[in-house]
Amino acid sequence: MKQYTVAVLGATGAVGQEMIKILQERDFPVGKLIPLASARSAGKTLTFRGEEVAIREAGDEAFQGVDIVLGAAENDIAQRFAPAIVKAGAVFVDNSSAFRLDPKVPLVVPEVNPEDVSWHQGIIANPNCSTIIAVTAVNALNSIAPIRAMTASTYQAVSGAGAGGPVELMNQVEALSRGERCQPKVFSHQIAYNLIPQIGGEQLEGYTSEEMKMQNEGRKIMHLPQLKVSCTCVRVPVVRSHSISISCRFDVSVTVEQAREVIAKAPGCKLVDDLKNQRYPMPLDTSDQDLVFVGRIRPDLTDENGLCLWCCGDQVRKGAATNAIQIAELLVKE
């Protein structure tokens, strides 16, 4: 099998480290790994397939001879290096939000729209973590009837805010147990024993930037340009895995039995739906793996053409690192 030179831009961050781990797990055909980070990390090493690999400073010249660049850096870094990556002839699979809504850039969830990889022009965007989990869970329903609208509430783990999120949660729990006050740093309010119903800044009529991603990205991924989504994003004191409550509305009635049948067969999904025996998706069960668990499928009592469901998925893996590597696997197949 052909071997590929793969660079990871932002290799020292949480997503970058997870990408390197998953490249090993999935036995991706890496002939040479090039970890890229800032100048302060250059010269340090990380382990890949039992060997120490030196971290290099990210720069325009670093992409020469690279086949695939996995982006795990912020928007400004992605935008800064994208021209150099494309000029070098590499394909940039970018996890930032910089290119997601660019009409010239495919936005891909491999279980949903793998065919869109074929029209890339050097950049392929990885969607928002909650969007990936949600569309993986509901896309199979489109085979019964196109989804015309969704109402979603996301319950997002603290690790979605970066490595400092879990540290802040644990520190606050310990401080409160000693009777001490909490001083939020990562989050705008105390997160221990609390919920924060805002992720991102206001973007449209009281909806945040994080909330609008579900509609804007969902339309592009599922090829549903008229899809309407009302979303509420909530930060919860859970370490890992995002959970989402979704109500889907169709132009015709879709039964619970139909939904269970297609979701059980859908790629990337695991049906966990047995209320009587208290079996349903939960963050603890979905962490550190790549399937989206789907359950609590039931009629929407407010709309005869609606269905409600609950899903959970690991936002660091399927919501970021694994999805990017699955896109790279599509490139290798091509």
CB distance 32 to 6 below 8 Å: yes
How far, in Å, CA of 245 to CA of 211, rounded? Answer: 13
CB distance 7 to 70 below 8 Å: yes
Q: With the CA atoms of 268, 67, 10 and 75 taken in that order, what torsion angle do they form, in degrees rounded to the nearest 10?
A: -80
The count of other CB atoms within 10 Å of the CB of residue 159 is 22
How far, in Å, CA of 27 to CA of 259, rounded? Answer: 34
- Structure tokens belonging to residue 172: 């606050």
Q: Is residue 129 annotated as part of the catalytic site, yes or no?
A: yes
Beta bridge partners of 69: 7, 92
CB distance 244 to 154 below 8 Å: yes
How far, in Å, CA of 162 to CA of 4, rounded? Answer: 29
Find the catalytic residue in 233, 242, 248, 308. Answer: 242
152 Cα distance to chain centroid: 16
Among candidate residues 11, 315, 328, 324, the one with its CA nearest the CA of residue 160:
315
Number of residues assigned to the chain: 334
CB distance 23 to 325 below 8 Å: yes
Q: Is residue 231 annotated as part of the catalytic site, yes or no?
A: no
- Structure tokens belonging to residue 99: 């290119």
- Structure tokens belonging to residue 213: 């991603």
Find the catalytic residue in 120, 129, 182, 231. Answer: 129
Residues annotated catalytic, as ranges = 129, 242
